């Protein structure tokens, strides 16, 4: 017979059956049909604590009730003050500031400071912060040698992930994760070095000599210089391109508990150092359903080939032949606000670089999908990755490098979430439960009898 547990929400009606003793004002009353017992469970911030369910038992030796939530569809794993998303309304804010205002008025380094410190920096704070990041842009020469070992066609994300992990061996003091000054030092190192690793991966891939950081340039301009400088004495960056890249960095800086950030918190919760934790977060980002989608979008647009082939392609997606990459989101059930800003930024970039021919196919794909019943019913809208790759391509980046461009700015978000997790007294090592549904005890069978 199935369980029949009755749940009542006291915020929406009276609850005469709940015990009057020790009952918090906002609570759910859960009635267990197996025992006929009732349990008032406190409600806080629209959630109940999964641990409060443990007291629901059929007998003293029962382990107690758990929740089952594969893929964390409806589970808050932490409390956070960093990023707010309202997926139905298409709202994204860092530390309370709307993404639109930050993208218009700030630099990425200013936003990274905000995300990590909770407040926008004063002029002096920004100057110190920029200095601290800039003095950490160089890589140890042995890191360069390590990167030389990769094959010429190694994927830049594989190189980034491995090199981030390798940095842990260069800075063993980073293990001291409970020391605030040590944490701060590693945060400066990581934000400073990630663009250098990314640029070296690109140069290695192209068989070009590495370009060392130029600390007179801004964060995005230095990155562009390390990527594209040839024999000229000083790389001259087009200010429109520099600003566009900075905006893209701002848009990608944090996105609350996504797959990569969850990996960062999970690895960091074992008190692993921030280099290996960041490597793990980057590995999660690499997947095609997450940050790897920007690379897949470009491959998809190339496969479609021309605007007139879009309806046929959409038909194939609806028939279950793959996904429309760059569409859909676990949280946004409306237009991703980042995609809107990226589309506007693309127009400015194309004035300098010329129009990317893939844009026409992407715009047609969006137009058709947004009026199609399949996508409307499932609330599937373009996400951040739909248009970002088109800009990256126009800026001269190879398709394989797109996800690296996501990882560079996300490093500040990962580090902010990592530090918040370490300082949160409610957090412990992340260790989910499971529902075991395999065999009960079996006796060993020798190999000759199997
Ligand atoms: N194309 C076609 N159908 C889709 C798509 C898509 N891109 N995304 C979701 N669906 C369908 C899905 O098949 C399901 O249909 P049904 O109800 O008939 O089974 C329904 O929509 C709900 O999707 P879901 O897979 O349950 O949603 P999810 O929350 O588990 O997955 C997602 C979210 C982003 C992984 C998914 O939408 C997806 O795979 N999108 C394409 C990859 C992509 O663009 N990823 C980048 C995400 S934004 C950047 C980041 O932060 O990572």
Residue pair 17/31 in contact (Cβ under 8 Å)? The answer is: yes
Given CA atoms 232, 405, 196, 184 in this order, what sign does their dihedral have?
A: positive
Rounded distance between C-alpha atoms, residue 420 and residue 270, angstroms: 14
Q: Please tell me if the CB atom of residue 389 comes closer than 6 angstroms to any atom of ligand 1.
A: no
Angle between helix 402-423 and 180-206 (nearest 10): 170
Residue 19: the pLDDT is 45
Share above pLDDT 70 across residues of the chain, in percent, rounded to a whole number: 95
Q: Please tell me if the CB atom of residue 40 comes closer than 6 angstroms to any atom of ligand 1.
A: no
Residue pair 387/339 in contact (Cβ under 8 Å)? The answer is: yes
The rounded Å distance from CA 188 to ligand 1 centre is 35
Phi, psi for 157 (deg, rounded to 5): -70, -35
pTM for the full model? Answer: 0.93
| Structure token pair of residue 184 | 């701060």
Q: Please tell me if the CB atom of residue 324 comes closer than 6 angstroms to any atom of ligand 1.
A: yes
Residue 22: the pLDDT is 73
Q: Please tell me if the CB atom of residue 378 comes closer than 6 angstroms to any atom of ligand 1.
A: yes
Regarding the domain delimited by 82-424, which CATH topology (the fold level of the hierarchy) does it fall under? Citrate Synthase; domain 1 (1.10.580)
Query: Cβ neighbours of residue 154 under 8 Å, at least 6 residues apart?
Result: 201, 204, 205
Residue pair 140/237 in contact (Cβ under 8 Å)? The answer is: no
Residue pair 253/111 in contact (Cβ under 8 Å)? The answer is: yes
Residue pair 413/259 in contact (Cβ under 8 Å)? The answer is: no
Polymer length of the chain: 450
Marked catalytic residue, from 329, 336, 347, 424: 329
Rounded distance between C-alpha atoms, residue 346 and residue 388, angstroms: 8
Residue pair 293/323 in contact (Cβ under 8 Å)? The answer is: no
Residue 234 DSSP one-character state: S
Q: Where are the domains of the chain?
A: 1-68, 82-424
Ligand 1 atom 21: residue of nearest CA: 378
Q: Which of 200, 234, 233, 210 is nearest to 401 (CA)?
A: 200
Marked catalytic residue, from 290, 347, 424, 440: 290
Rounded distance between C-alpha atoms, residue 215 and residue 198, angstroms: 16
Q: Which helix (H) or strand (E) holds 185?
A: helix 180-206
Ligand 1 atom 30: residue of nearest CA: 330
Give me the tens of pLDDT residue by residue for the chain, a chain 450 residues long. 345 555 666 666 545 444 445 788 899 999 999 999 999 999 999 999 999 999 999 999 999 999 999 999 999 999 999 999 999 999 999 999 999 999 999 999 999 999 999 999 999 999 999 999 999 999 999 999 999 999 989 999 999 999 999 999 999 999 999 999 999 999 999 999 999 999 999 999 899 999 999 999 999 999 999 999 999 999 999 999 999 999 999 999 999 999 999 999 999 999 999 999 999 999 999 999 999 999 999 999 999 999 999 999 999 999 999 999 999 999 999 889 999 999 899 989 999 999 888 999 999 999 999 999 999 999 999 999 999 989 999 988 989 999 999 999 999 999 999 999 999 999 999 999 999 999 999 999 999 999
Q: Which of 261, 357, 375 is nearest to 314 (CA)?
A: 375
The rounded Å distance from CA 184 to ligand 1 centre is 36
Residue 60 known to be catalytic: no
Residue 356: the pLDDT is 84
Q: Please tell me if the CB atom of residue 290 comes closer than 6 angstroms to any atom of ligand 1.
A: yes
Q: Which of 326, 329, 294 is nearest to 404 (CA)?
A: 294
* For ligand 1, mutation pick of 72, 264, 304, 328 (most atoms within 8 Å of CB): 328
Distance of alpha carbon 162 from its chain centroid, rounded? 18
Ligand 1 atom 37: residue of nearest CA: 328
Residue 23: the pLDDT is 83
The rounded Å distance from CA 289 to ligand 1 centre is 8
The rounded Å distance from CA 304 to ligand 1 centre is 20
Q: Produce one character per residue of 136-147: b if its CB has 16 or more CB atoms within 10 Å, e if not.
A: bbebeeebbebb
Rounded distance between C-alpha atoms, residue 127 and residue 134, angstroms: 10
Residue 290 known to be catalytic: yes
Q: Produce one character per residue of 298-312: b if its CB has 16 or more CB atoms within 10 Å, e if not.
A: bebbeebeeeeebee
The rounded Å distance from CA 329 to ligand 1 centre is 6
Q: Please tell me if the CB atom of residue 333 comes closer than 6 angstroms to any atom of ligand 1.
A: no
The rounded Å distance from CA 183 to ligand 1 centre is 36
Residue 16: the pLDDT is 45
Rounded distance between C-alpha atoms, residue 136 and residue 129, angstroms: 11
**Residue 34: CB atoms within 10 Å:** 14
Rounded distance between C-alpha atoms, residue 184 and residue 1, angstroms: 56
**Chain mean pLDDT for the chain:** 94
Burial of 316 (0-12, 13-18, 19+ CB in 10 A): exposed
| SS3 of residue 30 by DSSP | strand
């Amino acid at each position: 017979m199935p369980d029949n547990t009755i749940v009542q929400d006291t915020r929406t009606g009276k609850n005469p059956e709940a015990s009057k003793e020790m009952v918090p004002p906002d609570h759910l009353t859960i009635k267990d049909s197996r025992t006929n017992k009732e349990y008032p469970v406190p409600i806080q911030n629209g959630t109940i604590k999964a641990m409060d369910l443990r007291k629901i038992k059929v007998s003293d030796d029962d382990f107690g009730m758990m929740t089952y939530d594969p893929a964390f569809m409806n589970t808050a794993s932490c409390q956070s003050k960093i990023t707010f998303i309202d997926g139905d309304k298409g709202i994204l804010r860092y530390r309370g500031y709307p993404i639109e205002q930050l993208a218009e008025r700030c630099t990425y380094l200013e936003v990274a400071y905000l995300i990590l410190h909770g407040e926008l920096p004063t002029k002096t704070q920004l100057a110190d912060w920029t200095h601290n990041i800039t003095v950490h842009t160089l890589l140890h020469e042995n890191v360069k040698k390590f990167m030389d070992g990769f094959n010429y066609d190694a994927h830049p994300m594989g190189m980034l992930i491995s090199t981030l992990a390798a940095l842990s061996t260069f800075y063993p003091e980073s293990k001291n994760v409970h020391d605030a000054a040590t944490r701060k030092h590693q945060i400066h190192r990581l934000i400073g070095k990630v663009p250098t690793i990314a640029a070296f991966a690109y140069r290695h891939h192209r068989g070009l000599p590495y370009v060392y950081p130029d600390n007179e340039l801004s964060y995005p301009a230095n990155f562009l210089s390390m990527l594209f400088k040839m024999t000229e004495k000083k790389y001259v960056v087009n200010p429109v391109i520099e600003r566009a890249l900075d905006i893209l960095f701002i848009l990608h800086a944090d996105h609350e508990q996504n797959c990569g950030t969850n990996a960062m918190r999970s690895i960091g919760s074992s008190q692993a150092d921030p280099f290996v934790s960041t490597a793990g977060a980057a590995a999660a980002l690499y997947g095609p359903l997450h940050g790897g989608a920007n690379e897949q979008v470009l491959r998809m647009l190339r496969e479609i080939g021309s605007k007139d082939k879009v309806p046929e392609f959409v038909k194939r997606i609806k028939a279950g032949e793959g996904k429309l990459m760059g569409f859909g989101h676990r949280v946004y059930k409306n237009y991703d606000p980042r995609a809107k800003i990226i589309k506007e930024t693309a127009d400015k970039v194309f004035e300098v670089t010329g129009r990317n021919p893939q844009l026409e196919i992407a715009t047609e794909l969006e137009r058709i999908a947004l009026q199609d019943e399949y996508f409307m019913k499932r609330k599937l809208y373009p996400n951040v990755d739909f248009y970002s790759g088109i800009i990256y391509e126009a800026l001269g980046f190879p398709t394989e490098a797109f996800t690296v461009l996501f990882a560079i700015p996300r490093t500040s978000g990962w580090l902010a979430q990592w530090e918040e997790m370490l300082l949160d007294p409610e957090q412990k090592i992340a260790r989910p439960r499971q529902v075991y549904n395999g065999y009960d005890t079996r006796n060993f069978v020798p190999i000759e009898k199997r």
